[in-house]
Amino acid sequence: MAEENKRYAMVIDIRRCIACHACTVACKAEMATPLEVNATWMKIVEKGAFPDVRRFWLPRLCNNCTDAICARNCPTKATYKRDDGIVMVDQHRCIGCKYCIASCPYDVRYINPLKNIVQKCYFCSHRVDAGLLPACVETCPTRAMVFGDTNDSKSEISQILASNATVVLKKEMQTDPQVFYISADEAAMSSIEERINYYTEPAFIKLRI
Amino acid sequence: MQNITRRDFLKVGAASTAVLAIECQFGPIASAAERFIEGGRSVNRTSGLPRSFLPSTCMQCPAGCGNISYIEESRVVKIGGNPTHLSNQGSLCARGQAGINALYDPDRLLKPMKRAKGIRGNNDWIEISWEEAYDEIAKTMAAARSNPRDFVFLTDDLAQDDLGRRFTYAFGSPNAIGSTGVYDANKLVGTQLTWGKAGDMPDLAHSKYILVFGANPLESNPQFVGLARRFIDGIQKNQAKVVAFDIRLTNTSTRANETHYVNPGTYALLALSMANVIMQEGLYDAAFIEQWTNVSAAQLAQHLAQYTPERAEAETGVTALVIRRIATEFAATKPGTTISDAMLSNYANGVQNERAVMLLNIITGNIDTRGGLCMPVQYDLAEPSPAPPAPAPSLLSNPPELPFAFQQSVETTMQMIKDRKHSVNVLMTHGVNPVYSNPDMGLTEDVLMDQTLIPYHIAVTPYMNETAALADIILPETTFLEDWDIEVRPSPELVPYVSLKQSVVPAMESARSFFEITTQLAGMIMGGMEQYFAYKSVQGYLKARISDISGLNQAGGLDYLMQHGVWYDPKTRPNYGSFTAGGFATPSGKLEVYSQPLADRNFSALPTYEPIASFRELGNNEMVLSIFDTAIQTDAKTGNCMWLNEIQHDNPVWINPATAARLGIKDGDIVKLTRSHKSGEAKERSITSTAYLTEGIHEEVVAMANGNGRAESGSVAEGEPLTADEITEIEPRALQDPNMKLIWWKEKGTGIGINAKQIVPVSPDPIGGGQAWGDVVVTVAKA
Amino acid sequence: MEHGDVNVVYSVEHQLPLIMYIGQYFFFTGLSAGSFVISVIATLLGRKEFKPIGKITAILAPALLIIAPLNLILDLEQPLRFWHLFLYYNWTSPITYGSFLLTAYPIMGIIYAVMVFTNRQKAAKVFGILGIPLAISVHGYTGFILALAKARSLWNTAAMPTIFIVSAMISGIGLVVIISAIRYRWFDKKADAEQKEQDKKVILQLAQIMAYVIMMDLFLVLSDILVLLTAHSDAYEAGWLLLSGNFAFLFVGVEIILGSFLPILLVLGPKSRKSLTAAVIASILVNIGVYAMRFVMVIGGQTPPLS
Ligand SMILES: Nc1nc2c(c(=O)[nH]1)N[C@H]1C(S)=C(S)[C@@H](COP(=O)(O)OP(=O)(O)OC[C@H]3O[C@@H](n4cnc5c(=O)[nH]c(N)nc54)[C@H](O)[C@@H]3O)O[C@H]1N2
Ligand SMILES: Nc1nc2c(c(=O)[nH]1)N[C@H]1C(S)=C(S)[C@@H](COP(=O)(O)OP(=O)(O)OC[C@H]3O[C@@H](n4cnc5c(=O)[nH]c(N)nc54)[C@H](O)[C@@H]3O)O[C@H]1N2
Ligand code: SF4
Ligand code: SF4
Ligand code: SF4
Ligand code: SF4
Ligand code: SF4
Ligand SMILES: [Mo]
């Protein structure tokens, strides 16, 4: 179980990330996530005009926020926080009211269409508890993701955080996210400049009315 | 190098101590060791209990990364990377992770099938027993033995199909045709002619200046995981400057310091003009050219003088200013290297392209140095004896009109068969899908449909696909996770290794491995064939394959591999500058910048630019079609993997908005691409797809992803969900997957795309024989 | 595409978790709360002419509140686990206060109704007064549910609970008007013409009160939108979503014009102010408007992607 005095977090160094989706599929396998939904996914945008055009991307997953609105708003405490900061969903307690999905500012929760409960990334706590790295971190071909204990000042992640400028998503939401990005692009981070085009999967933007 | 502080993540198991011992030499491997937790363990999500595991080799692409299968109740539940594997060092890409989908694809073929009646392709099959199947095949093949050279075996080089070649030779036919011809044949020929070894391996991690010529190591590469990591290391740890030349925006060019869009097909001119600048400015490595090439600097400078940056500007679209600057920087920044792959040489002028780009490394002395362009290293495997003698060459195995080609390529094979230049009595296809993957799909389809051209077609495959659909009999093969082989690939770390593919779970139902199939068939066809297939077990055969590698045998041979998945000599270091000991493996012992064999055949002996005529006279609606690989799919190989199809299932046509405006095309419009009509062609070749407007593409090019648009490959590839009832009917139960009812991309998504290759004409480089994938000119119009 | 545009190549999946069941649930609790308040007011005033209305609404309130949570439970992905709400309550979640309020309020409502029907005026008054904060909370908390999901700009405003309460009043009064009018027209067998005239007056008065509450609601909603349009960028987008986006028809057309302006005109207009038919039409329109408002709020509020 969660050890005390630990605070788990993740750093994603976008300078090393190649948008390969290995993390997406590793997570799918690790979590047995059904088709249609994902605990982690890439956002990719293109900016500029030919020939000065570039892509920017951002792997997205639950931030395991320190001040997790999802946990605060969950009526059954199915969503709860462990002492080490990992935000969990108790699959047996969840009633599927989906209020946590509505509450989360980051679009990272989903309804598991086969189990009818809400799920999300929980930093692979079952692996972390066994002394392993999260599945996505382990498989990342370029080592763009670093996971560890930020309370331990000697840990790799603490040193990276100390020596690099990092950003989090929607700081203004006061959730204190624990997924830090190095060199993230603003357009990839923001939700308003969205211009859905053909290549963007419309099926992923599902209206469940 | 980060120090190992994450103690809680570091419980180094026995297998990794060897790795740690050489930490200082191999930076990246040490960090892999840090990530290596007792064999890269995996635990059950609910119980937290460790899962049992077996290491093997990923076969989802040619990289051959080391993987570890985690098993619960004799079912693979998860695949991870093998941290001790030199190439991938614990990582797997999306495709490697999705290998599990390949194993448990509900549409797997598990019973031999015989076409009921009627014409090929009518999809009317009856299941038969292995005995019946073998009986029929053995009878047919024994009869065909009177004319053994008419047996044709089409196979996949990615799988290093030594058994297939052995079977073909033992039968008495030289015609074991791999798919090299459709991919990097021109690169192999170009490098072979120049430095006596086929292929290359840029030492990206140690480079200071990287010139990318139409390669995309961050999305697709024959050594994808290994090279992507080393490329990023080069940029980040080594501060390498990267200049990318491409016809479209890629993840690689996004990471480059500069990207230049090049007119398609003009690589050689670009490279040669840069070489010209280096020679004119006196920035070349005179001593290296003097000692290690078969030309003099003066001779070379004189030859290159014709490729002025101004001429290059006019034809490549890259300005003379940029060409001069980059050439000067490249020569001044050591070490530097170029990186290129199949798409540099997949042109009718492919071998020349390859040699022109190599020249940049040669004149700057960046050959086989730390951070330069290195020769590929890999172990050679022994041919277990008795080995069948190679039958005399045929028109197919050694095409006389393609003197440098290693073999006829699959697509020229089809043309020859169609033109009745070589007759066929039995065709066996194994691990290839030429109907989908060959250029001019219609041609292959026509040939395979024609019973008079192909009297009997045996397909050996785990899945139904476009090619197997045109077979007379199908033998259900095991997937790579149920099969055995030894895999040796060019090592990104420049230290050779041996990797084992082993069966991590028992073969599903009645699927049989290719070893079993060839051995059993040879035993039934007899007539001397059987003596080459006398190994009782595949392990015995593989032991013989590695018998020459003494270090491995000292370490424990096959047993070591079965435990660790991979072996390399921990004392070996990259052997930079190996040529200084005994010269290059060319006739002259030097780098053959001037190639006598080329001169003898009336090809340009020095690296030369040969313009592609059709690109120069593009009509108003004409564009160059470029088909690119992505990080999510490997050609047609991964089409049955649902986790991959979910991410990439469609391949719209990339069009530059300026071009689209000129042609009156809007984002999302249906467009029609028609291949310019070649004389003598019966059918018009055209496809329709959706327009995707993006600023990230050259204005004269349209591009489409490879691997989509599957027609005969099962529910996942075709995007057809199953109903709950259909799922529960699937046998065996291990293949029942409730996810099958959630397949959404065809109905609720953008569709399953279209196979762009069907409109690519068959056109080999006259030197290398490799298919010129890049040469296609199409008319683009709103449909 | 314009040059220099941002082109989204791959987007993050955006689920709309709460579907119309929730909107419907809000609608029914609103109706219930509204009718309860009217009933208690009628009881408190103690005037004879209000008595029938007090009785109708006393039944309506708990009855509607039994339908309302059905919607809630139907919306659950795991309806059979609804009891987890009581066993594993979480006091920081508005749904938790809701589940207890939803239990307490109908009980109170039933007791109150029994008192009203058994003519125990005093007790009815006591339970009525006790019940009013409950009724207001039952509906106000639904506003909190939305307001406390702070990433959704349309919801995350302090005005949200008030808007919900006010719109509940409107729809509640509307329903009472409709039902009273039905009773007046078809079921009231009284011969006394004067008595009937009195009843009609009460109904028309109710309708007029409704019009004034609508004005208050309009003020609240429009000031809410105005603030959204001047706030941060996400809020700005949310504001425009209602004014010109996919929800403009429902919001401007149905909620504001059809559901607010038109009823005010019908009820207060010089020609129609004396007409019972006009009051009924106005009440129907008001309820359509409030239903549309629930839809716009629940679905529209979730529409803007968060990443
Ligand atoms: N236009 C265009 N065309 C191209 C290319 C391009 O870039 N552009 N690429 C070319 C290149 S580089 C190549 S290498 C070729 C590739 O072409 P092929 O050599 O034909 O290989 P794949 O397309 O990968 O298809 C192999 C088939 O094997 C089957 N298969 C999958 N797993 C297994 C297995 O474990 N065992 C067996 N027996 N079969 C299996 C699948 O059903 C699949 O259909 O395509 C070429 N075609
Ligand atoms: N992830 C992944 N890895 C793979 C594969 C895969 O499908 N997916 N396939 C494997 C196989 S079989 C092979 S052969 C290799 C292929 O690997 P590569 O040879 O790298 O082939 P591609 O990715 O098709 O093309 C590389 C780049 O060349 C660009 N290009 C095309 N034409 C031109 C041109 O005229 N000029 C310039 N400047 N650029 C051009 C394309 O836009 C693309 O970005 O990768 C292997 N590895
Ligand atoms: S696996 Fe690593 S490199 Fe690939 S997309 Fe994920 S974070 Fe980026
Ligand atoms: S990202 Fe969302 S789901 Fe994850 S902890 Fe934060 S609020 Fe909760
Ligand atoms: S859906 Fe489940 S986890 Fe989310 S708030 Fe409701 S009970 Fe909690
Ligand atoms: S930490 Fe685990 S659950 Fe979270 S995204 Fe990575 S693999 Fe998925
Ligand atoms: S690069 Fe190729 S071999 Fe390596 S994991 Fe990916 S698919 Fe498998
Ligand atoms: Mo290839």
Q: Is A74 in the pocket of ligand 5 (CB under 6 A)?
A: yes
Are residues B139 and B97 both part of a single domain? no
Sign of CA dihedral B665, B666, B667, B670: negative
Task: At B46, list the tokens.
Answer: 């609910």
H or E element at residue A24? helix A22-31
Q: Which atom of ligand 5 is nearest to the CA of A79?
A: 3
Are residues B642 and B743 both part of a single domain? yes
Query: Higher-confidence residue: B495 or B668?
Result: B495
Residue A8 gets which letter from DSSP?
Answer: E
Task: At B739, list the tokens.
Answer: 């996810």
Q: Is A71 in the pocket of ligand 5 (CB under 6 A)?
A: no
Q: Which residues pair with B436 in a beta bridge?
A: none
> 3-state SS string over B21-58?
HCCCCCHHHHHHHHCCCCCCCCECCCCCCECEEEEEEC
Q: What is the mean pLDDT of residues B734-750?
A: 91
H or E element at residue A55? strand A52-60
In a domain, B5, yes or no: no
Measured between beta carbons, the chain A residues lying within 8 angstroms of C234 are 191-192
pLDDT at B40 (0 to 100): 56
Q: What is the mean pLDDT of residues B547-573?
A: 94
Are residues B63 and B154 both part of a single domain? no
C partners (3+ CB pairs within 8 A) are: A, B
pLDDT at B24 (0 to 100): 34
Are residues B263 and B178 both part of a single domain? no
- CA of B118 from ligand 1 middle (Å) equals 28
Q: Which residues pair with B54 in a beta bridge?
A: B69
Banded model confidence at residue C259, pLDDT cuts 50, 70, 90: very high
Q: What is the mean pLDDT of residues B284-296?
A: 97
Are residues B192 and B306 both part of a single domain? yes
* Residues of A (161-180) whose Cβ lies below 8 Å from C: 169-170, 172-173
In tens, the pLDDT along B687-727 reads: 999 999 999 999 999 999 999 998 888 999 999 999 999 99
| Least Cα separation, residue C6 to chain B (angstroms) | 10
Are residues B173 and B197 both part of a single domain? no
User: Which among C110, C159, C152, C160 has a CA at the least distance from the CA of C134?
Assistant: C110
Are residues B368 and B445 both part of a single domain? no
Q: Is B769 in the pocket of ligand 7 (CB under 6 A)?
A: no
Cα(B251)–Cα(B228) distance, integer angstroms: 11
Residue A194 has pLDDT above 60, yes or no: no
- CA of B252 from ligand 5 middle (Å) equals 41
Residue C285 has pLDDT above 70, yes or no: yes
Residue keyed to tokens 């691997």: B707
In a domain, B146, yes or no: yes
Q: What is the mean pLDDT of residues A174-194?
A: 86
Q: Is A178 in the pocket of ligand 4 (CB under 6 A)?
A: no
Cis geometry, peptide bond prior to residue A51 (ω within 30 degrees of 0): yes
| Least Cα separation, residue C15 to chain B (angstroms) | 15
Banded model confidence at residue B411, pLDDT cuts 50, 70, 90: low
Q: What percent of chain B has pLDDT over 70?
A: 92
Query: Higher-confidence residue: A154 or B439?
Result: A154
Q: What is the mean pLDDT of residues B511-533?
A: 95
pLDDT at B775 (0 to 100): 85
Taking an 8 Å cut-off on Cβ atoms, the answer to whether B643 and A140 are in contact is no
Pocket test for ligand 7, best of B89, B91, B225, B634 (most atoms within 8 A of CB): B225
Q: Which atom of ligand 2 is nearest to the CA of B631?
A: 1
Structural contact between residues C66 and C95, judged by C-beta atoms closer than 8 angstroms: no
Banded model confidence at residue B30, pLDDT cuts 50, 70, 90: very low
In tens, the pLDDT along C1-40 reads: 343 467 778 877 778 888 888 889 889 988 988 888 888 8
Residue B419 has pLDDT above 50, yes or no: yes
The angle formed by the CA atoms of residues B30, B31 and B37, to the nearest 5 degrees, is: 95
pLDDT at A196 (0 to 100): 46
* Domain housing A101: 3-208
Cα(A8)–Cα(A4) distance, integer angstroms: 11
Q: What is the mean pLDDT of residues A147-160?
A: 95
pLDDT at B615 (0 to 100): 84
- CA of B93 from ligand 3 middle (Å) equals 9
Residue A199 has pLDDT above 50, yes or no: no
Helix (H, G, I), strand (E, B) or coil at B100: helix
- CA of B168 from ligand 4 middle (Å) equals 59
b/e sequence B295-329, b meaning 16+ C-beta within 10 Å: bebeebbebbeebbbebbbebbbbebebbbebbee
Residue B2 has pLDDT above 70, yes or no: no
Tell how far CA C306 is from the center of its chain. 28
* Domain housing B624: 614-782
User: Which among B645, B648, B657, B656 has a CA at the least distance from the CA of B628?
Assistant: B648
pLDDT at B712 (0 to 100): 85
Cα(B656)–Cα(B639) distance, integer angstroms: 28
Taking the CA of residue B765 as centre, how many other CA atoms within 13 Å lie in the half-sphere pointing to its CB? 39
In tens, the pLDDT along B123-137 reads: 899 999 999 999 999
Hey, what's the torsion of the CAs at C179, C180, C181, C182, to 10 degrees?
A: 50
pLDDT at B756 (0 to 100): 92
pLDDT at A86 (0 to 100): 97
Residue B682 has pLDDT above 90, yes or no: no
The CA-atom distances, in angstroms, between B100 and each of B503, B561, B642, B735 are: 13, 22, 10, 11
Taking an 8 Å cut-off on Cβ atoms, the answer to whether B694 and C3 are in contact is no
Task: At C265, list the tokens.
Answer: 């005109």
Taking the CA of residue A2 as centre, how many other CA atoms within 13 Å lie in the half-sphere pointing to its CB? 19
Residue B6 has pLDDT above 50, yes or no: no
Q: CB neighbours (10 Å) of residue B536?
A: 8
Q: Where are chain C's structural domains?
A: 15-300
Taking an 8 Å cut-off on Cβ atoms, the answer to whether B97 and A28 are in contact is yes
Q: What is the mean pLDDT of residues B474-503?
A: 96
Q: Which residues pair with B427 in a beta bridge?
A: B152, B457
Residue B642 has pLDDT above 50, yes or no: yes
User: Which among C124, C203, C204, C221 has a CA at the least distance from the CA of C165?
Assistant: C221
b/e sequence C174-185, b meaning 16+ C-beta within 10 Å: bbbbbbbbebbe
Measured between beta carbons, the chain C residues lying within 8 angstroms of A43 are 8, 10-12, 307
In tens, the pLDDT along A3-52 reads: 568 999 999 999 999 999 999 999 999 999 999 899 999 888 889 999 99
Chain B's closest residue to A140, CA to CA, is B91
Q: Is B437 in the pocket of ligand 1 (CB under 6 A)?
A: yes
The CATH number assigned to the domain holding B80 equals 2.20.25.90
How many folded domains does chain B comprise?
4
The CATH number assigned to the domain holding B738 equals 2.40.40.20
Q: Please report, as a single letter, which amino acid is at residue C13.
A: E
> For chain C, how big is the Rg over CA atoms in Å?
21
Residue A207 has pLDDT above 60, yes or no: no
Q: Which atom of ligand 4 is nearest to the CA of A70?
A: 8
The CATH number assigned to the domain holding B406 equals 3.40.50.740
Measured between beta carbons, the chain B residues lying within 8 angstroms of A59 are none
Are residues B127 and B235 both part of a single domain? no
* CATH code, residues C15-300: 1.20.1630.10
The CA-atom distances, in angstroms, between B106 and each of B539, B697, B727, B732, B734 are: 29, 38, 8, 9, 9
Taking an 8 Å cut-off on Cβ atoms, the answer to whether C307 and A169 are in contact is yes
pLDDT at C191 (0 to 100): 65
Residue B680 has pLDDT above 90, yes or no: no
Banded model confidence at residue A209, pLDDT cuts 50, 70, 90: very low
Q: Is A99 in the pocket of ligand 5 (CB under 6 A)?
A: yes
Residue B413 has pLDDT above 90, yes or no: no
In tens, the pLDDT along A53-93 reads: 999 999 999 999 999 999 999 999 999 999 999 999 999 99
pLDDT at B175 (0 to 100): 93
In a domain, B26, yes or no: no
Tell how far CA C33 is from the center of its chain. 8
User: Which among C243, C236, C285 has a CA at the least distance from the CA of C260?
Assistant: C285
Task: At B300, list the tokens.
Answer: 């070379």
Structural contact between residues B482 and B505, judged by C-beta atoms closer than 8 angstroms: yes
pLDDT at C193 (0 to 100): 80
In a domain, B652, yes or no: yes
C42 CB-near residues (< 8 Å, 6+ apart): C50, C51, C53, C54, C57
Q: What is the mean pLDDT of residues C186-193?
A: 75
Are residues B363 and B421 both part of a single domain? no
Q: Which ligand is the nearest neighbour of the Cα of B629?
A: 2
Cα(C143)–Cα(B752) distance, integer angstroms: 44
Structural contact between residues C213 and C166, judged by C-beta atoms closer than 8 angstroms: yes
pTM: 0.92
In a domain, B6, yes or no: no
Are residues B406 and B345 both part of a single domain? no
Cα(B433)–Cα(C191) distance, integer angstroms: 91
DSSP secondary structure string for all residues of C172-196: HHHHHHHHHHHIIIII-----HHHH
Residue B338 has pLDDT above 80, yes or no: yes
A partners (3+ CB pairs within 8 A) are: B, C
DSSP secondary structure string for all residues of C79-140: GGGTTHHHHT--TTSHHHHHHHHHHHHHHHHHHHHHHHHTT-HHHHHHHHHHHHHHHHHHHH
| Least Cα separation, residue A41 to chain C (angstroms) | 6
Hey, what's the torsion of the CAs at C269, C271, C277, C283, to 10 degrees?
A: 0
Banded model confidence at residue B415, pLDDT cuts 50, 70, 90: confident
| Least Cα separation, residue C235 to chain A (angstroms) | 10
Are residues B627 and B694 both part of a single domain? yes
Banded model confidence at residue B33, pLDDT cuts 50, 70, 90: very low
B-C contacts at Cβ under 8 angstroms: 8
For ligand 3, atom 6, which residue shows the shortest CA distance? A23
H or E element at residue B144? helix B130-144
The CATH number assigned to the domain holding A140 equals 3.30.70.20
* Residues of C (5-44) whose Cβ lies below 8 Å from B: 7
In tens, the pLDDT along A85-112 reads: 999 999 999 999 999 999 999 999 999 9
Q: Please report, as a single letter, which amino acid is at residue B270.
A: L
Task: At B32, list the tokens.
Answer: 């892999």
Helix ranges, B497-605 (H): 514-525, 538-545, 550-555, 557-564, 579-582, 596-600
The CATH number assigned to the domain holding B298 equals 3.40.228.10
Structural contact between residues C59 and C165, judged by C-beta atoms closer than 8 angstroms: no
Last residue of a domain, one of B69, B85, B103: B103
Are residues B208 and B166 both part of a single domain? no
Residue A208 has pLDDT above 80, yes or no: no
Residue keyed to tokens 């057809």: B720
Cα(B321)–Cα(B327) distance, integer angstroms: 10
In tens, the pLDDT along B143-183 reads: 999 999 999 999 886 566 889 999 999 999 999 988 766 67
Q: Is B766 in the pocket of ligand 2 (CB under 6 A)?
A: no
B454 CB-near residues (< 8 Å, 6+ apart): B417, B424, B427, B447, B448
Model ipTM value: 0.91
In tens, the pLDDT along B39-84 reads: 458 999 999 888 999 999 999 999 999 999 999 999 999 999 998 8
Q: Is B158 in the pocket of ligand 7 (CB under 6 A)?
A: no
Banded model confidence at residue B207, pLDDT cuts 50, 70, 90: very high
In tens, the pLDDT along C136-188 reads: 888 888 888 898 988 898 999 888 889 998 998 899 999 989 988 988 888 87
pLDDT at B585 (0 to 100): 96
